[in-house]
């Protein structure tokens, strides 16, 4: 259980340790690795409503693909993709909206439009001002450990990755540095969530090791989010395309929960809600 018992997000309260929370993924990008990206507002709104109906606790909206080797988009283009969708949804859905971006201007405009969580895949290493924005708006921030700055990519697509003697030492060290930046900026500790960054600069074997050793992140005393859904560790084990990795994702989610995950970021919300409920019943004694 995370040391911080409750995180508040507007009118929503997350009671860590009570149950697993589900973050549904909405990629407003034409080149999502998982093949579920959408490129128009109406389709995005329909998909978002479906994720809410299926049981998502948080809706994570991103406008730039994070697949290995993808090209970055401009701030203006990312805003054009995500802000109209958030504006359409903010007053129509009852769950918090997270903006999946490491760019200050994008996050700022998303919060203006109605988002209430910042999900920073670079853990304040690219844009430390996101911490100040989180303080100013009093919103939770997800800090991810990203090793792609070391010139490494996922081995699942045949790229070299950094050679860590102990991937968990690397991840914990990276997250400690990100948390320190956030705390120095004044982010309340209860507003910080950490993510080990599965698929971001680690080999698929290292990703599996992270899930196996996830309990070690509890030393940080913060809620833990994992995002293993449809990723290449599943591809490499099961040899299946992205849209056929539901069962593999389910295994990573269940074991992640057993090892301390508080939030799971997933594409297949309906199926993962069932997995989480069953896992919670066994692990948390619900």
What positions carry a catalytic annotation?
A: 231, 265
Question: Using CA atoms, how far apart are residues 2 and 223, in angstroms rounded to an integer?
Answer: 5
Q: Which residues contact 179 (CB under 8 A, 6 or more apart)?
A: 143, 192, 194, 220, 222
Question: Using CA atoms, how far apart are residues 282 and 264, in angstroms rounded to an integer?
Answer: 17
Question: Using CA atoms, how far apart are residues 138 and 151, in angstroms rounded to an integer?
Answer: 34
Contact of 100 with 65, CB cutoff 8 Å: no
Question: Using CA atoms, how far apart are residues 93 and 106, in angstroms rounded to an integer?
Answer: 21
Do strands 21-27 and 58-62 pair parallel, antiparallel, or not at all (unpaired)? parallel
Contact of 283 with 18, CB cutoff 8 Å: no
Among residues 267, 284, 275, 283, the alpha carbon closest in space to that of 23 is found at 267
Among residues 142, 162, 141, the alpha carbon closest in space to that of 151 is found at 162
């Amino acid at each position: 259980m995370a040391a911080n018992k409750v995180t508040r997000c507007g009118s929503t309260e997350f009671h860590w340790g009570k149950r697993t929370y589900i973050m549904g993924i909405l990629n407003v990008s034409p080149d999502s690795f998982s093949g579920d990206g959408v490129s128009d507002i109406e389709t995005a709104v329909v998909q978002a409503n479906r994720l809410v109906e299926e049981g998502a606790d948080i809706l994570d909206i991103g406008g730039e693909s994070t697949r290995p080797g993808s090209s970055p988009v401009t701030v203006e283009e990312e805003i054009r993709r995500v802000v109209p969708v958030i504006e359409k949804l903010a007053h129509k859905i009852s769950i918090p909206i997270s903006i999946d971006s490491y760019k200050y201007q994008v996050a700022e405009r998303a919060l203006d439009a109605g988002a209430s969580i910042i999900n920073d895949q670079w853990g304040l290493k690219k844009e430390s001002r996101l911490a100040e924005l989180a303080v100013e708006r009093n919103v939770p921030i997800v800090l991810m450990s990203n090793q792609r700055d070391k010139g490494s990519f996922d081995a699942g697509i045949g790229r070299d990755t950094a050679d860590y003697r102990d991937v968990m030492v690397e991840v914990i060290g990276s997250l400690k540095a990100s948390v320190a930046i956030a705390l120095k900026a004044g982010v309340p500790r209860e507003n910080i969530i950490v993510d080990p960054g599965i698929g971001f600069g680690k080999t698929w074997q290292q990703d599996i090791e992270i899930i196996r050793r996830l309990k070690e992140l509890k030393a940080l005393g913060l809620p833990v989010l994992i995002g293993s859904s449809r990723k290449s560790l599943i591809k490499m084990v099961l040899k299946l395309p992205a849209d056929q990795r539901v069962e593999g994702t389910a295994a990573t989610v269940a074991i992640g929960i057993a090892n301390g995950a508080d939030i799971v970021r997933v594409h297949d919300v309906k199926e993962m809600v069932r997995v989480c409920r069953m896992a919670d019943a066994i692990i948390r004694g619900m």
